[in-house]
Amino acid sequence: MEELTKTLKGLGLESVPQEPNTYPELNPFDIYRSHITELLAEVSGVDKKIIYPTLAWTAKPENGDLQLAVPALRLKGKDLKAYAQELADKFPESPLVKKPVVTGTFVGFFFKPESLTSIVLPLIFKAGKSYGFNNSFGLKEDGSKKKMVIDFSSPNIAKPFHAGHLRSTIIGGFLSNLYEGMGWEVVRMNYLGDWGKQYGVLAIGFDYFGNEEELVKNPIGHLYDIYVKVSNIQKDEADKVKALKAEVAKDKEEGKDVSAKEAEITKIETEGIDEKARQYFKGMVDGEPKAIGIWKRFRELSIEKYKQTYARLNIHYDVYSGESQIKDESMDLGVKVMWEKKVCEDSEGAVIVDLTKHSKKLGKAVIKKKDGTSLYLTRDVGAAYERMQTYHPDKLMYVVASQQDLHLAQLFKIEELMGWKDISSISQHINFGMVLGMSTRKGTAKFLDDILRDVGEKMHEVMRGNQAKYEQVEDPEKTSDTLGISAVMVQDMKGKRINNYNFDMDRMTSFEGDTGPYLQYAHARLCSIYRKAIDADPSLEKTDFATVDLSELQEPHAVDLIRQLASWPDTFLNTFKTQEPTTVLTYLFKMSHAVSASYDHLQVVGSDKKVNVARLALYVAARQVLNNGMRILGLSPVERM
């Protein structure tokens, strides 16, 4: 606070303006909002508590940096237009803001550029990596951190990692970073689809088609291949039985002998894949060591492989959970409560919950099958209970495609009806639309690794297009991989989550338009400006940017960029409300455009030293903000490309 106090004294303010729950050291806009609030309270007599929250961002820059909607002051019996004018006229001379501008019943305030520059840049240098973030928002009253358990990615073993999982991974990674940036403790959880009869099918398939070496080398691909092959046999067998049964019926009518056909049916029904898988899965449920052992190995090898892929996306999990991990006791407890609270009922031997009483849309949900086995939904009830017991979270997030809107709506409603409001009230489904036409160059995409490799190769081609630059890049292989991943991620986060989008390899890998490579380029260019400035004048390397004289930064381009940089903490705060990655991305693109518009006007070499240093400070600050924003999204900013 000391330095900020000094800066503001220098501008002519006695103390740092600070309304309750504001953070002048972290957010420049807080200073201006508090300051304007104080002055408006003086001239209007309205309570500061009412004024502060009505000071809002403007849609158009010509309306000011902040705007007061006079009607929101809730003043009775006043001509609001005239009063807006009166407020503007009475508004005193201020070191931070210019004379207010009135449009209708709005009063607009413009920040004085000199004040903005001297406040914002030092603040950015001081906060550095954490500029924009604010740990206070994650604190509970007792000072401990709020905690979120976030279930995301959650693919199914031996099945394709499809676009829905990719989006869940990207969006979930972003939300985890977002909450951490707000001071929350985040438990990243991968809830694998790893339980059910299909894992019996898989184990049987491994007996037929498995190859130990392949399994270790490429578990995900190999298990998938096996699963496809064995499921086909399973399906053929089922078709065969159906056909035979029809023939038997017909033959019987015609008085023919059916014993051979009946024997064949029995053989398939007792020795076929389906029955073998059923028995195998029963072994897993009963905890037979052999059955469990094989399945566990599949699971563990798959997780090892997933970990490598997630690492490429900057994602690390705290827990690899999964449907298999949910204890019978938790599910039994859930079903017991459902009976007690009369939430469920018997339906021909199965247990179901009829939610149509509450909403037609919610339909009926099966909780236990006739043979007593649990389902996806049952396991989610048990899983939620266990998450509460283990972590005592303040929020439970499920990042799952909107195809599962019904499933999660059912889950939350059932929990509520069970009286588990402590769970349902903190649960949130973060949904998202589909990716259309996701394919690799070799065909339809099945695995995340194939997609990332493909996009990386494409980026490599694009990079080779500029041979001179290409030669400067230390590890082109790695850089193109990073750029490819950025391309995929930015394309995914660009629109609102709920929108579908087209997987468009050419578009996403382009340097033009709002793409991942564009952002990376903007970052690399800022890094290069710094390198070049140091090359030209090595004495600059020791500069303490927090203390340089910024008075030279008066050009409109500089002021515009500083204004952008000032609004990053508010943008971050707003992102916490929208929970949309596009809120961050839109900001970063706008800010990067402001940076690139500045280059021609604000050159760092060639002017006099004082000007050079001030401009360099501006670019260093811009790089910091871009870097912070990119990291929140889960991107790895590159320094050269």
Please list the active-site residues: 159, 162, 165
Q: Which is nearer to ligand ARG, 147 or 165 (CB)?
A: 165
3-state DSSP call for residue 76? coil
DSSP assignment of 570-602, as one string? HHHHHHHHH--HHHHHHHHHHHHHHHHHHTTTS
Q: For residue 407, with 0-12 CB atoms within 10 Å meaning exposed, 13-18 middle and 19 or more buried, which class applies? A: middle
Residue 539 phi/psi, 5° resolution? Answer: -65, -20
CB of 190 to ligand ARG, least distance (A): 9
Q: Whose Cβ is closer to ligand ARG: residue 193's or residue 334's?
A: 193
- Please state the closest distance from residue 189 (CB atom) to ligand ARG, in A: 9
- Report the site for ligand ARG in 532-561 (rule: CB under 6 A): none
For residue 383, the minimal CB distance to ligand ARG (Å) is 6
CB neighbours of 62 closer than 8 A, spacing ≥ 6? none
Taking residues 19 to 58 in sequence order and writing x for each that binds ligand ARG by CB under 6 A, - otherwise, the string is ----------------------------------------
Please tell me whether residue 151 binds ligand ARG under the rule CB under 6 A. yes
Write each residue from 192 to 211 as x if it is in contact with ligand ARG (CB under 6 A), else as -, in one continuous string.
-x------------------
Please state the closest distance from residue 297 (CB atom) to ligand ARG, in A.
20
Q: Is residue 87 a contact partner of residue 40, using CB atoms and an 8 Å limit?
A: yes
Task: Report the residue number, 385 or 518, with the smaller CB distance to ligand ARG.
Answer: 385
The CB-of-352 to ligand ARG minimum distance in angstroms stands at 19
Minimum CB distance to ligand ARG, residue 122 (Å): 45
Smallest distance, ligand ARG to C-beta of residue 118, A? 49
Nearer to ligand ARG, 458 or 497 (CB): 497
Q: How far is the CB of 172 from ligand ARG (least distance, A)?
A: 10
Cβ-based nearer residue to ligand ARG, 307 or 631: 307
> What does the longest C-alpha to C-alpha distance in the chain come to?
108
Please tell me whether residue 398 binds ligand ARG under the rule CB under 6 A: yes
Q: Of these, 111, 174, 179, 191, which contacts ligand ARG (CB under 6 A)?
A: 191
Could you tell me how many residues of this chain bind ligand ARG (CB under 6 A)? 10
Cα-only R_g, the chain:
31
Burial (CB count within 10 angstroms: exposed 0-12, middle 13-18, buried 19+), residue 557: middle
* CB 513 within 8 Å of CB 507: yes
Task: Give dist(CA 488, CA 477) in Å, integer.
Answer: 17
Report the residue closest to ligand ARG, judged by CB. Answer: 193
Q: Are 188 and 317 in contact (CB under 8 A)?
A: yes
Neighbours of 358 (CB within 10 A): 12
Nearest residue (CB) to ligand ARG, 155 versus 484: 155
- Please list every residue from 152 through 171 that binds ligand ARG, using CB under 6 A: 154-156
What are 194's strand-pairing partners? none
Task: Compute the C-alpha angle 608/611/616, nearest 5°.
Answer: 120
Window 334 to 393, contacts with ligand ARG (CB under 6 A): 380, 383
The full length of the chain comes to 641
Of 498, 505, 508, the C-alpha closest to 434 is: 498
Q: What is the DSSP letter of 421?
A: H
Is the CB of 165 or the CB of 523 nearer to ligand ARG? 165
Nearer to ligand ARG, 191 or 281 (CB): 191
CA angle 302, 397, 455 (to 5 degrees): 50
**Residues 400 to 429: which contact ligand ARG by CB under 6 A?**
400
| Exposure string for 104-131, b = 16+ CB within 10 A, e = fewer | ebbbbbbbbbbbbbbbbbbbbbebeeeb
Site string for ligand ARG, 431-470 (x = CB under 6 A): ----------------------------------------
Q: Is 614 in the site for ligand ARG (CB under 6 A)?
A: no
Stretch that binds ligand ARG, among 74-82, 104-112, 150-158, 494-502 (CB under 6 A): 150-158
Residues that bind ligand ARG (CB under 6 A): 151, 154-156, 191, 193, 380, 383, 398, 400
